[in-house]
A = this chain, B = another copy of it.
Amino acid sequence: MATLRVELGDRAYPIEVGSGLIDDPARFRPHLRGPRAAVVTSATVAPLYLARVSAALRAAGAEVLEVVLPDGEENKSWATLNRVFDALLAARCDRDTTLVALGGGVVGDMAGFAAAVYQRGVPFIQVPTTLLAQVDSSVGGKTGINHPLGKNMIGAFHQPQAVIADVDTLGTLPRRELRAGIAEVVKHGFIRDAGFVDWLEASGIERLAAGEAEALTHAVVRSCEIKAEVVGCDEREAGLRAILNFGHTFGHAIESGLGYGEWVHGEAVAAGMVMGADLSARAGLLSAADAARVPALLVRAGLPVAGPAGLAAERYLELMAVDKKAARGRIRFVLLEKVGGAVLRGDLPEALVRATLDACTAR
């Protein structure tokens, strides 16, 4: 087992990555504040891992409440979140209750937000069971739900007590979900670590796509290290942290433009990173050859390398204007200035962005 640490002063917490973790009471015991734990999970994950996690929590001394939510980005809503509050209040859970988020990014974001606002804040533990959640969404304390006018528009920064990433759970992950996680792994390389991109290009990406345990462990650890380092420097996204959104400004527009759930998040981010790299080249920051490494790598994992046909440039611009990363009406983009180095730019001519959108959309 590897243990990393997210350095956030009195909100610092460990990330544990390894095999067989979800069955081990010792992983949970130090992070339970009071005698009760409420496991929040999804209908898909519940039959696979809920009984095992609850058993480990009971063995760690907790009284366990289980809350099973419907799956999918379209259920990342207030109505679904309210089911968690209903269950907690019906069971008279107080501020000493620890929430446990068992599942993918949607469950993690929702359970984390529930923990952020239930009785003005209770502790929670992330137990991510998808690659996307293990390498990205479970780390960093971003929680939230969607609004009809935008993704993650309602939320909070709320750091977990711990992240327990059991790579064994990735064995049951559908291939499409595995690929979606690989997109975020690739992102971490391109924004921060050229050596990690080299590893992926050598053969890492195929090993990840094949679900090889050793490669997955390496990718989860390296991704969490990069994300923890960035978040440790800038918890509330005042500056550096924004680089983690490489590909996401375009990606959110794709998700939102198609309707949540058409493309999964990682697919939209993959196409978004291709656009981000293309825009970096057009802005004169990155060589065309380096920009081309982004789609060349992603395509090997079976990820989309162009935006969906039928989503016009105009619609992207409209959707991106309402995105959280738009500051005072200007759309800010994360661009690459080299492989392994990202910058935030808010001064790009709209014509350049349109050129990228036209060049990177499937016909």
Contact = CB atoms under 8 A, between A and B. Distances in A.
A194 interface: no
Contacts of A149: 86, 89-90
Given A150-B89, A328-B34, A156 B94 contact: no
Contacts of A155: 117, 119-120
Given A35-B328, A324-B95, A156 B153 contact: no
Nearest to A144: B120
Q: How large is the interface on A (under 10, 10 to 19, 20 to 34, 35 or more residues)?
A: 35 or more
A96 interface: yes
Nearest to A142: B120
A236 interface: yes
Contact of A121 (B78, B92, B236, B327): B236
Interface in A91-148: 92, 94-96, 113, 116-121, 142, 144, 147
Interface in A10-52: 34-35
B92 A329 contact: yes
Interface in A56-114: 78, 82, 85-86, 89-90, 92, 94-96, 113
A118 B121 CA distance: 16
A115 to B, nearest CB: 11
A94 B157 contact: no
A117 B329 contact: no
A321 B94 CA distance: 9
A204 B85 CA distance: 43
B156 A321 contact: no
Contacts of A34: 328
A156 B156 CA distance: 9
Contacts of A150: 89
Contacts of A118: 153-154
Interface in A279-298: none
Nearest to A82: B78
Contacts of A89: 147, 149-150, 153, 322
A326 interface: yes
Contacts of A116: 156
B327 A156 contact: no
Q: Which one of A85, A119, A326 has the greatest number of beta carbons of chain B within 10 Å? A: A119
A122 to B, nearest CB: 10
A154 B327 contact: no
A225 to B, nearest CB: 24
A203 to B, nearest CB: 38
A239 to B, nearest CB: 13
28 contacts: A34-B328, A78-B82, A85-B147, A85-B154, A86-B149, A89-B147, A89-B150, A89-B153, A92-B321, A94-B324, A94-B326, A94-B327, A94-B328, A96-B327, A113-B117, A116-B156, A117-B117, A117-B154, A117-B155, A119-B324, A120-B142, A120-B144, A120-B157, A120-B324, A121-B156, A121-B157, A121-B236, A156-B156
Pairs A-B, 3 closest by C-beta atoms: A89-B149, A120-B155, A119-B324
